[in-house]
Amino acid sequence: MPIKKLKEFLDNHDVEYITISHSKAYTAQKTAASAHIPGKELAKTVIVKFDGQMAMTVLPASYKIDFDQLKMASGASKVEISTEDEFRDIFPDCELGAMPPFGNLYDMEVYVAKTLAEDEEIAFNACSHTELIRMKYKDFDKLAKPKILKFSAV
């Protein structure tokens, strides 16, 4: 079961969370609607490349990456979105496109949009297109140790 590794990680760090089951959804906005969660509180994970190096960006489902802002904030000379084929093998325990925002579990840097860091709680894909985890943002921050940058726009 793909979610097992994630739940063990959270349990081993004594993090309080809830699991939310929802009907199958493949986009962040449809997932938010299916789970009855505001789009600003659902964290979507987007894999990008900074100067060719893959990294994880995390932002509210209802927002988009502003690549100019991300490039400026990160200091990279080139920022581009990664293709599913490029990151498919990095997340073997997750359904494609349903990776949780814990890049540290996959040896990957995590960049969080400042707009998401303002939320008290966040929900995110739990390695599947039918399950979410909801937890306090401060617990996520403590475990994932993301770099908080301004790079999202409505």
The CATH number for 87's domain is 3.90.960.10
Two structure tokens written together for 125 = 């894909």
Two structure tokens written together for 66 = 């502003």
Give the pLDDT confidence of 3-51 residue by residue, as tens digits. Answer: 788 999 999 999 999 999 988 888 888 888 888 888 788 999 999 999 9
- Residues of the domain holding 63: 3-153
Select the more confidently predicted residue: 39 or 121: 121
Reported as half-sphere exposure (CB side, CA atoms, 13 A), residue 130 has a value of 4
- Structural domain tally of the chain? 1
pTM given for the model = 0.91
